[in-house]
Amino acid sequence: MKAEYINPFISSTSNVFKTMVGIEPIKGDVYVKKANERMAYDVSGVIGLAGQASGSIVISLPTKLALKIVEGFLGEKKTEIDDDVTDAVGEILNMIAGGAKQIFSQIGLSFKISIPNVIVGRDHMITKHSTINCLGVKFKVGDQIFVIEAALKDK
């Protein structure tokens, strides 16, 4: 994955949060995800990308932030991770992937988006194959952090 490929995911994330969630997260560090790096979160969404380029995009959040974000998205108070919350996390990630897809298509890189899966489980970790080059970016919302991790390789 070329380092600059993280940028469409960053701008799409900022845009979706601003317009659909009503929150402007503060972009933090971009990091290279290492195979044995074990960052643990409570709720994650995963979408595969496949076509001329293939890869995946992951959003991982702590429970408290997942509830806050889904409240912004749905406009109703949420106190536990139920189907509404997992559906909403999947939908938000789907929009982020869709926005990034648009930007990539402008530079001639095309892919299609699979359906999202949402993982719920305290302190789960998501790994890619150790040979896959994956970049992540931290976003801050108040005192909470979520991450977007993306891998995309040209065929």
**Interacting residues toward a second copy by CB under 8 A:** 35-36, 40, 44, 46-51, 54-56, 58, 83, 86-87, 90-91, 111-130, 132, 151, 153
- Checking 124-130 for CB contacts under 8 A at 24+ apart, the result is 124/40, 124/41, 124/42, 124/44, 125/38, 125/39, 125/40, 126/44, 126/46, 126/58, 126/60, 127/35, 128/33, 128/35, 128/56, 129/35, 130/35, 130/36
Judged by beta carbon, residue 76 or residue 83, the one nearer a second copy is 83
Judged by beta carbon, residue 17 or residue 111, the one nearer a second copy is 111
Judged by beta carbon, residue 30 or residue 119, the one nearer a second copy is 119
Which tokens belong to 45?
């969404």
Judged by beta carbon, residue 77 or residue 129, the one nearer a second copy is 129
In whole angstroms, the minimum distance from the beta carbon of 26 to a second copy comes to 26
In whole angstroms, the minimum distance from the beta carbon of 89 to a second copy comes to 9
